[in-house]
Amino acid sequence: MSQASKHVEWCLNKAKKEIEECNGLGKRAKHRGLLKSNPNIEEAKKHLTKAEHNFEGITRFKEIGFSDWSMSAGFYCIYHCFLAIAATFGYESSNQTCTIALMRFLKENNKIKLDEKFIELLEYESRENIGENSVIDLRENYTYGVQVSIKDGEKLKELKQNCKEVIDSTKEIIFK
């Protein structure tokens, strides 16, 4: 069993346990894992629309002098693409690392064709391999740091290119 497979199994169990705990306490059912359900193309389309909205935000934030927020928009563009793919295969995720593990699991099992670089852009375990140019590092630096604009236009250009590519890949997966 691969690491991704184990992680997905853990995420499914986590969600199930948390929902059972909520039900036992009479609380609204919520979880921080993965739920398996029926494939939901309509939900996938909504996540894709949100990804495209965030993609547009990358440029718009720069135009109005808030380029630091472009990094968050880029991160969430890619993340919503992953949520769209998850919905296509009948998963609901409430946890970023579970979503990323699901993408790796689907890829390992030849369910999706997704360039490894997109998974690595959001994968915490690969951060030391990617360095300070990962989308996670950029988002964290510009969200929690004190910089109010992106000085390196190449980073922004690369982010937009990656987001465009992952949106295109997501469309191929959803609409195949």
> What is the enclosing helix (H) or strand (E) of 40?
none
CB atoms within 10 A of CB 95: 16
CA 60 to chain centroid: 21
Tokens of 47: 């996540």
Of 48, 78, 79, nearest in space to 165 by CA: 78
pLDDT band at 89 (very low <50, low <70, confident <90, very high): very high
**Which strand (E) or helix (H) includes residue 126?**
none
Give the domain 38-174 fold: Four Helix Bundle (Hemerythrin (Met), subunit A) (1.20.120)
Pairing of strands 91-93, 34-36: antiparallel
- In sequence order, what are the beta bridge partners of 35? 92
103 closest CA partner among 117, 86, 88, 90: 86
Question: Residue 31 has which token pair?
Answer: 């979880």
Across the range 12-30, mean pLDDT stands at 86
The residue among 67 and 86 whose pLDDT is bigger is 86
Domain boundaries, the chain: 38-174
| Nearest CA among 82, 81, 70 for reference residue 135 | 70
| Token reading at 126 | 């690969």
- Measured CA to CA, the distance from residue 45 to residue 90 in angstroms comes to 13
Cα–Cα distance for residue pair 49/137, rounded to 1 Å: 25
Q: Dump pLDDT digits (tens) for 128-169.
A: 444 455 666 666 666 666 565 666 678 788 889 999 999 999
Query: What confidence score (pLDDT) does residue 165 get?
Result: 97
Nearest by Cα to 122 from 90, 159, 148: 159
What's the rounded Cα separation, in Å, for the pair 159 and 60?
14
The answer to pTM > 0.75 is yes
